[in-house]
Structure 1
């Protein structure tokens, strides 16, 4: 049975926009890009490494996939995450891309229905709009929130507007020396209380 696991980096006030660098995502005049850079450490690296160890393909929304191409596709830095990113099968969901040829091992999907039809485990990093759509369709099985100890006040939130009632249970957690909480959740079966 296929499983979809989501990893989202989020602030205390729910912002998911522009984690990595100042120019990553400036939509809406967002001026806080790169907010996650100060929080990296060995514990966070080890927690993120656990995700790399899982089998399955990666799933992206168009914007994140295109951004990751610039960061990872031509990198040759000896980083095991770089090797993983380039070797993994990658699905990108987009109604506007003409092809997925820009990054090796990528496959273009047109809709969340196409995702639902896949029969392999998938992991999503970022791609907030896609995560909202997957959640609305009841397709998110596991969710890892990487909660950073800061508020930004502005920026795109993980859930903007209504989200369907879905119960998750905490299945594991870690706290980094810099105060980041990595919380792992699994969706509770429908009908469970």
Structure 2
């Protein structure tokens, strides 16, 4: 059985929408995209690269898959992420039956997210990391399919935007905390 780890950047008020770029996700009129960029430092980049370098599969919602792979496969190299993303086994949750995935090592999971991810978790071994994909993460948390969360908590309150957590309760046990030079706290939590 696989373990599922969620890897997310969030603000102190729980917003996870569009941390990387102003145009990343403007749904709902969100105008604060790119909020995480000023907080990047060597500590956070090294942590993310080390985490991704451990291997394992990746799990995405369709929108996040297109955005993340589209961005990193066109980003200047060298960087610590492009080749890892391209080489990793990627699973993409979608309700669209005729989905075509533009990047190698990508497998669609067609149907309802909770059902297809539960089957995947049961049928494969090793770690599966979810990047972004807030709607997917909320569904997996509600179904108790998440084993671990890595939250990069930014010292910022936006007051608006899509939040990572919904109304469902999630009890977390802190396993490790790493402060960065810019005030981000990288928290690694086991989900009870």
Contact 2:53 2:84 in 1 (8 A): no
State the 1:54 CA deviation: 2.6
Contact 1:41 1:178 in 2 (8 A): yes
State the 1:97 CA deviation: 6.0
CA distance in 1, matches of 2:97, 2:47: 32
Q: With structure 2 as the length reference, what TM-score do the two structures score?
A: 0.91
Contact 1:73 1:103 in 2 (8 A): no
Contact 1:59 1:91 in 2 (8 A): yes
| Counterpart for residue 78 of structure 1 | 78
Contact 1:72 1:86 in 2 (8 A): no
Name the Cα RMSD after superposition. Answer: 1.4
| Counterpart for residue 181 of structure 1 | 185
| Counterpart for residue 90 of structure 2 | 90
Secondary structure of 2:81's aligned partner:
helix
Q: How many residues align?
A: 186
State the 1:76 CA deviation: 5.7
Written as runs of structure 1 = structure 2, the 5 A alignment for 1:21-60 is 21-60=21-60
Structure 1, residues 116-173: CA drift from partner, whole Å, max 9, x if none? 112232101111100001111111000011000111111000113x21x332211101
Contact 1:19 1:34 in 2 (8 A): yes
Q: With structure 1 as the length reference, what TM-score do the two structures score?
A: 0.91
Contact 2:69 2:85 in 1 (8 A): no
CA distance in 1, matches of 2:177, 2:12: 16
CA distance in 2, matches of 1:55, 1:82: 13
State the 1:55 CA deviation: 3.0
